[in-house]
Amino acid sequence: MDTVMVALMSMGFLGILFGFGLAIATEKFHVEVDPKQTEIEDTLPGINCGACGFPGCGKYAEEVTKGAADVNLCVPGGEETSDTIGGIMGVKADKKEKRVAVLMCSAKNVQDRFEYSGVKTCRAAFLTQGGNLGCEYGCLGLDDCAVVCPTEAIYLDENKLPHVIEERCIACGKCAEICPKNLYQILPISKYVHVRCMNLDKGGPAKRKCDNPCIACLKCEKACPFDAIHVKNNLAVIDYDKCTSCGECVKACPTDIIRDYRDGRPVVREWVDQFIDMAIEPLRPKKAEKKGTTKKPPEAGVATGSASGVATKTESVPKASTPEGGA
Amino acid sequence: MEGDFGTLFTIIISAIFVNNYVLARFLGLCPFFGVSKSTDAAIGMGMAVTFVMTLASAATWVIYNYVLLPGPSNIFGSIFPGVAETGMVDVLKTISYILVIATLVQLVETMMRKMAPALYDSLGIYLPLITTNCAILGVALLGTTNAPMPLSILEVSVQGFAAGIGFTLALLLMSGVRERLMLLDLPKSFQGVPIAFISASLMALAFMGFSGMVSW
């Protein structure tokens, strides 16, 4: 009985001592949290996607309260959230343009260098000599980006090339982070002309690897009325500050890598040109010399039209011989 | 002085390798499997555990020597003469340690938030997790004992720190192994935790090689 009493008393004494100690400590080391911060945190979606550039919604709320961050950075919350946060902070939210992920590859008929039979993820495949594909810059076509996407906005088409569903994309940048070849860019949705290739090879070698490479022909550079596209390191690069998405380079590109990205296909090429082709079909035998030479080159990549078909064939002759010589 | 340093060195080697709390004593297995999926999280958790283990060892040493042990130093001895004769080691050791460690972690968290926000940001999420971690209680229970020899407060703190380093080492090794395991083509039934258990057992076997190196 004595032992029980002593045990109870001493534990009670210790408990009360520690309790008071903690109470005093909490009072003394109290950290003031701005009521605005908790309010903002409640407004935010709370999925901690990191699209605002801060680690999690809590940190973003803290930065907004401090005034260090803009109120319109929450991508998943959209306009509604930024308006609410703006209301709490007494700031008017600027409209922030929606951004989407864009895959900078449009691989077509890329041959395998070897057969890869390991784990079916891009990161694992990339560890084996940079992946099994013939083009070392291009998309490996496994589904890392689709798996990591929190809103399931990425799907793989029948050619194993990922596509981004823009309505669902919240521009969190997770696909850009996981892609071992750094093929994704997060760009404003109003910019929809992209060079969808990352190949830094010269024209010939690039063409041997893929049917849709950037061959650094400089046609886009000449076609651009705004000085927005330049070829650097054998690759056309668009300066998105200057680009107005007018589509002149899309028309000029002979290999079909600069694309009007909306709908995921070269709108100008396939729709308009096919329509023109259909319209001028009856006239073709007569005007083939005149119009064909001016109109045809852009057509080359997609339809393998007659004029460019010859061009690709002549190129395919050295293609067959050089790899053998190299190997 | 040299003998003193020698004892400390023995304690450090013993706690890190020979009696590694995870791989030889099998304490703290929950965070060992829960937080070892990535190296970054393993380092954060390891640092937090090391920090709390060191402080908890020192705090429980005080409780052990001035509240639980019988003798004239017992602070309750003057009020209850029975306590001074028998002590309360076998009755209150575990429960009072839990109380002390939980209070200590809470106190440290509060103080850290105010005085070192950067440290709080990196360790803060792990601190509540380890309040009642069995490795920390184990370090406190095994450190405050008379079994091989009574330890001084310095030796106990060093032992707690070294045990934390040993825990961090095991966690880091495991996270490295598991990051590689993620890329293996395993049968479905072995994926995830089962293969982690097998790897952990092999690591424990490897650590058996240290046993007997230090007789402490």
Chain B neighbors of A25, CB-CB under 8 A: 107, 110-111
CB pairs under 8 A between A and B: 62
Q: Do the Cβ atoms of B184 and A9 come within 8 Å?
A: no
| Contact by Cβ (8 Å): B135, B21 | yes
A interface with B, Cβ–Cβ < 8 A, is: 2-3, 6-7, 9-11, 13-15, 18, 21-22, 25-26, 29-31, 118-119, 121, 123-124, 127
**Which residues are within 8 A (CB) of A43 and not within 5 positions of it... i.e. 6 or more apart?**
A77, A81, A84, A85, A88
- State pLDDT tens for residues B18-39: 989 899 888 888 888 888 888 8
Flag if A21 and B103 touch (Cβ within 8 Å): yes
CB contact under 8 A, B80 and A9: yes
Nearest chain A alpha carbon to B91 = A7
> Do A10 and B88 count as a contact with CB atoms less than 8 A apart?
yes
Instruction: Judge whether residue B68 has pLDDT over 60.
Output: yes
pLDDT at B199: 92
The residues, any chain, with a CB within 8 Å of residue A262's CB and separated by 6 or more, are A192
Which pLDDT tens digit goes with each residue over A64-110?
A: 888 878 787 787 777 778 888 888 887 776 666 778 888 888 887 88
Q: CA–CA separation, A299 vs A276, rounded Å?
A: 12
For residue A131 the two structure tokens come to 């992946």
Contact B80/A6, CB-based, under 8 Å?
Answer: yes
Q: B185 vs A119: CB contact, 8 Å cut-off?
A: yes
pTM of the model: 0.54
Mutate to test the interface with B, among A17, A29, A127 (most CBs of B within 10 A): A29
pLDDT at A292: 43
A233 CB contacts (<8 Å, ≥6 apart)? A200
Q: What is the pLDDT of residues B190-201, one digit of tens each?
A: 888 899 999 999
Distance from CA of A18 to the nearest CA of B (A): 7
Q: Bigger pLDDT: A313 or B43?
A: B43
Taking the alpha carbons at both ends of chain B, their separation in whole angstroms is 19
8 Å CB contact between B60 and B89? no
pLDDT at B167 over 90: yes
Residue among B95, B111, B115 minimizing CB distance to A11: B95
Mean pLDDT, consecutive 10-residue stretches, chain A (327 aa), reads 77 90 87 81 78 76 82 78 82 72 84 84 85 85 86 84 83 86 85 83 82 83 85 86 80 74 46 61 52 43 40 40 38
Helices A57-66 & A78-89, crossing angle to 10 degrees? 40
DSSP labels for B85-97?
Answer: HH-SHHHHHHHHH
What residues of chain B lie within 8 A of the CB of A2, using their CB?
80, 82
Q: Does A119 or B205 have the greater pLDDT score?
A: B205
Residue A295 has a pLDDT of: 42
Higher-confidence position of A95 and B104 = B104
Q: Do A14 and B99 count as a contact with CB atoms less than 8 A apart?
A: yes
* Mean per-residue pLDDT of chain B: 84
CB A230 within 8 A of CB A271: no
The verdict on a CB contact (< 8 Å) between A3 and B82 is yes
Provide the token pair at B1.
């002085």
Name every chain B residue with its beta carbon within 8 A of the beta carbon of A18. Answer: 99-100, 103
Shortest distance, CA B185 to any CA of chain A (angstroms):
6
- Which residue do the tokens 């729709």 mark? A271
Q: Do A31 and B114 touch (CB under 8 A)?
A: yes
Residues of B with CB under 8 A from a CB of A: 63, 67, 76, 80, 82-83, 86, 88, 91-92, 95-96, 99-100, 103, 106-107, 110-111, 113-115, 183-185
Q: Taking the C-alpha atoms of A304, A307, A313 and A314 in order, what is their torsion angle to the nearest 10 degrees? A: -150
Is B107:B56 a contact under the CB 8 Å cutoff?
no
Interhelix angle B134-143/B39-63, rounded to 10 degrees, is 40
Q: Which residues of chain B make contact with A13, given a CB cutoff of 8 A?
A: 76
Q: Which residues of B fall within a CB distance of 8 Å from A23? A: none
Provide CB contacts within 8 A for B67, sequence distance 6+.
A10, A14, B74, B75, B76, B88, B92, B96
CB contact under 8 A, A31 and B88: no
The more confident residue out of A151 and B204 is: B204
Of the candidates A15, A121, A124, the beta carbon closest to that of B99 is on A15
Please give, rounded to a whole number of angstroms, the shortest distance from the CA of B46 to a CA of chain A: 21
Token pair for residue A323? Answer: 């790899």
Helix (H, G, I), strand (E, B) or coil at B142: helix
pLDDT of amino acid A46: 77
Three-state SS string over chain A comes to: CHHHHHHHHHHHHHHHHHHHHHHHHHHHCCCCCCHHHHHHHHHCCCCCCCCCCCCCHHHHHHHHHHCCCCCCCCCCCHHHHHHHHHHHHCCCCCCCCCEEEEECCCCCCCCECCCCCCCCCHHHHHHCCCCCECCCCCCCCCCHHHHHCCCCCEEECCCCCEEECCCCCCCCCHHHHHCCCCCEEEEECCCCEEECCCCCCCHHHHHHHCCCCCCCCCHHHHHCCCCCEEEECCEEEECCCCCCCCCHHHHHCCCCCEEECHHHCCHHHHHHHHHHHHHHHHHHHHHHHHHHHHHHHHHHHHHCCHHHHHHHHHHHHHHHHHHHHHC
Q: Which of B76, B111, B184 sits opposite A29 (nearest CB)?
A: B111
Residue A279's pLDDT is 67
| DSSP state, residue B201 | H
